[in-house]
Amino acid sequence: MSELSLHTPDTLRSRSEAVASSMPALLADAQHLAASVLLGVHGRKRAGTGDEFWQYRPAEAGDSYRAIDWRRSARSDGHFLRQTEWQAAQAVMIGVDDSASMTYSGAKTRPSKLRRAQTLAMALAVIAVRGGERVGLTHLAEPPRGGQAQLMRMAAALMDGVDRPEYGEPKPQVMPAGSRAVFFSDYLGEPDAIETVLGRSADRGVKGALVMVLDPDEEAFPFDGRTLFESMSGAIRFETLKAKSLREEYLERLAARKDALRMMARRTGWQFHVHHTDSPAEPALLWLYQVLERQ
């Protein structure tokens, strides 16, 4: 378990492939197919444009002769058209909080929160691309795309963060209507920003999941004695003489934050999940897969 605490673009992709390989292809259900103009590989259980054979139907008046399948028609008296199944691709937008607080890791044996979040994000992207979906990153002003090249671009973009604020907030640049969205963050910053984003998403018919990535130390607060706490960039300081005595209050506040997030998610039809960096990534990915498939 001696993973490096941060990814490089190359390792991020290869490791994500490794995680994603254990999963079946994600075939997201497209409820709002009509709004999407771009074709994907999801069969929509009706005739339309696509590659897969759907049915032969007798030619009707108005059908172009070019549409007639002559091979089928030659076997009988009538004329038949060959219809293909209507296929459409889902768009999955992934947001990863790359703020300073995400780079925290409570122990050398654990990856940082950012690292875990990136792994999960890329794994999700790999599954989606393999299933023919289009994926994109929320903080880039680019539309979602499919294909291996997009994975490469995403990996590079995820590793791109230079200027890290203390706490991150989701700032989706592109949010195609009816797409899926997943936000990874520790959600320790201001909760208002999240509420705004969730509200806007709901307006555009975007559903998805909030994944709260926490270090076990943040969950347990195992500190004692005279302690000078500093934020990750060192900008915020807080000194206590006996850290242990603050534990109860801290845990209460953390629980309150989780409840607030859960409430927000529920109101907008989103899902909320807490993931700890000391537990394996696969259950979180499975959860995401199920959530995205269900919606």
- CB of 15: closest distance to another protein in angstroms? 24
CB of 97: closest distance to another protein in angstroms? 11
Distance CA 34, CA 39 (A): 11
Q: How many angstroms separate the Cα of 272 from the Cα of each of 36, 79, 83, 252?
A: 26, 54, 41, 19
Least distance in Å: CB of 222 to another protein?
7
**Which residue, 165 or 205, has its beta carbon nearer to another protein?**
165
State the Cα–Cα distance between residues 85 and 194, nearest whole angstrom: 39
List Cα–Cα distances, 182 to 57, 121, 272, in angstroms: 41, 8, 10
Closest distance to another protein from the beta carbon of 238 (Å): 5
> Which pair of tokens denotes residue 124?
């999700």
Calpha distance 52→140 (Å, rounded): 33
Q: Which residues bind another protein (CB under 8 A)?
A: 100-102, 104, 113, 167, 186, 188-189, 215, 217-218, 221-232, 234, 236-246, 249-250, 253-254, 257
**What is the closest distance, in whole angstroms, from the C-beta atom of residue 22 to another protein in the complex?**
30
Residue nearer to another protein on the CB measure, 70 or 238: 238
Task: Convert 263-292 to b/e letters by CB count within 10 Å (16 or more is b).
Answer: ebbeebebbbbbbbbbeebeebbebbbebb
Return the HEC string of 123-186. Answer: HHHHHHHHCCCEEEECCCCCCCECCHHHHHHHHHHHCCCCCCCCCCCCCCCCCCCCCEEEEEEC
- Residue 99 Cβ vs another protein, minimum distance, rounded to whole Å: 9
Complex with another protein: residue 78 or 225, whichever CB lies closer = 225
95 vs 168 by CB, closer to another protein: 168
Nearer to another protein, 37 or 228 (CB): 228
Nearer to another protein, 133 or 186 (CB): 186
Specify the residue, 26 or 188, whose C-beta has the smaller distance to another protein: 188
What burial class does residue 77 get, using C-beta atoms within 10 Å of its C-beta: 0-12 exposed, 13-18 middle, 19+ buried?
Answer: exposed
Q: How far is the CB of 276 from another protein (least distance, A)?
A: 13
Q: Which tokens go with 211? A: 């994944």
